[in-house]
Amino acid sequence: MNSRIDLNTLTIEETRARFQKGDISARELAAIYEDGIKQKNGELNAYIEIFEDAFEAAEAIDARLEAGDMPRLLEGIPIAVKDNILIRGKKATAASKILANYTASFDATVIGRLRDAGAILMGRTNMDEFAMGSSTEQSVYGAAKNPHDTGRVAGGSSGGSAVAVAAAMAMAALGSETGGSIRQPAGFTGVVGLKPTYSAVSRNGLIAMASSLDQIGPLAKTVRDAELLFDVIKGKDPKDATSAEYEARSSLHEKIVIGVPQEWMRGDGMDADVRTIIERAIETFREAGYEVKEISLPHTPYALSVYYIIVPAEVSANLARYDGVRYGLSKEGANVIEGYFKTRGAGFGPEVRRRAILGTYVLSAGYYDAYYRRASRVRRLIAQDFENAFGEVDCIVAPVSPRPAFKLGEKVKDPLSMYLEDIFLVPANLAGIPALSVPYGVVERDGKKLPVGVQLIGPRFGEGILFDIGKFLEAHS
């Protein structure tokens, strides 16, 4: 490793300054990261594939800089990309057998924006199959492992992206969120993760799980790096009708007001050490002069139940396209229906099958009103809870997860226990609002220090508020 570079502390802005000074080239930096990947990935299983053309991109950047061009926002920055985001000419499998041989024919919009900003795409990262999971254990490639304790999960479904950043195998990464899949692995591995406002970032080129919830977002070492990556990928896209012009929201108060949801902090489900860390963060805000106010989010205790009705319903619709006819795995049967059964039986893993079956059930005649329609109504009430709260506060503070990273294999055979890991995360997804995971302290388990994340939740298009508060929290961690 180059002695001039400490990858654990190197930031995007520092890298751009080094390029301008000529301290290091993009080619050299890419080689340093590739060496780190080769040394660590065998144990951590963060990357599924390393891109051979990363050096070609780096050399083109060096030629550009040598010609006197100013570095772009992400010039020469090594970025890892979750395996459900399409990159032209590269495989995109969503960590599933059913897409094992699928090669993307176009770039996702976010990938085009990364390229335009000068980023180097290092490879595609491990994930739970079709983003369905909270531990990366549902991947057909095997689980990604937590660099702080390789006997524990990295979180999911963007576990590979989080590990790549945490273990200095990428300076930053893209993940995707449907119900905590960026924030939870960020919290478990000690990095920063942003779930943007729904519609802030184009979903064009993202392999769909639940279309009313899916959103692409950044993982990075620092809040500032996450902010820079978000600034590049955000914005309206004509190829995604759900995307919107970004209209940043600012604080409504002279002094920032921090909300603490009483329903979340008074429950019994939170680990005592995690609770202590969250309370310390709240006290840090108070001592710094922030106004801290208790709030109520009365319908959010129903969020997990609502989520696991709406998401499977959308999963069952989105996964219907994987039939073995046009692309992906294909198994022949005596007739078309038998071919479907064989293809999907061989191609989908247990969690994907479970959600597709559940979703088909809740959408079926006789059950739609009892389950899906009722869940949709409660979803609107949850969104209204947050809207009411953000009339009084600028930001809500909460845990990311009820406990630190759990052991590999501990919950994989108990789906309900796994789902409960997302209890503090899915409310923001259902409401379509932004939320940020910021590392804040550690707890000790089995002689290992495990990171804990503090979650900051903001109003729609309130990412700027979260970044400002997140930087403060980061500086006082």
Going by C-alpha positions, the residue among 350, 308, 307, 348 that lies closest to residue 328 is 348
Whole-angstrom Cα distance, residue 121 to residue 106? 15
Of 25, 40, 82, 158, which is the active-site residue? Answer: 82
Going by C-alpha positions, the residue among 476, 470, 474, 405 that lies closest to residue 148 is 405
Concatenated DSSP letters of 125-178: E--SGGG--SSSTT-TT---EETTEEEEE--SSSHHHHHHHHTTS-SEEEEEES
Whole-angstrom Cα distance, residue 477 to residue 473? 6
Residues 6+ positions from 3 with CB-CB distance below 8 Å: none
Rounded CA Rg of the chain: 21
Collapsed DSSP state (helix, strand, coil) of residue 442: strand
Active site (annotated) includes residue 139: no
Of 96, 134, 139, 181, which is the active-site residue? Answer: 181
Burial of 297 (0-12, 13-18, 19+ CB in 10 A): buried
Of 25, 96, 135, 157, which is the active-site residue? Answer: 157
Strand partners, 437: 193, 455
Taking residue 268's Cβ as centre, other Cβ atoms within 10 Å add up to 5
Active site (annotated) includes residue 82: yes
Whole-angstrom Cα distance, residue 29 to residue 249? 36
Active site residues: 82, 157, 181
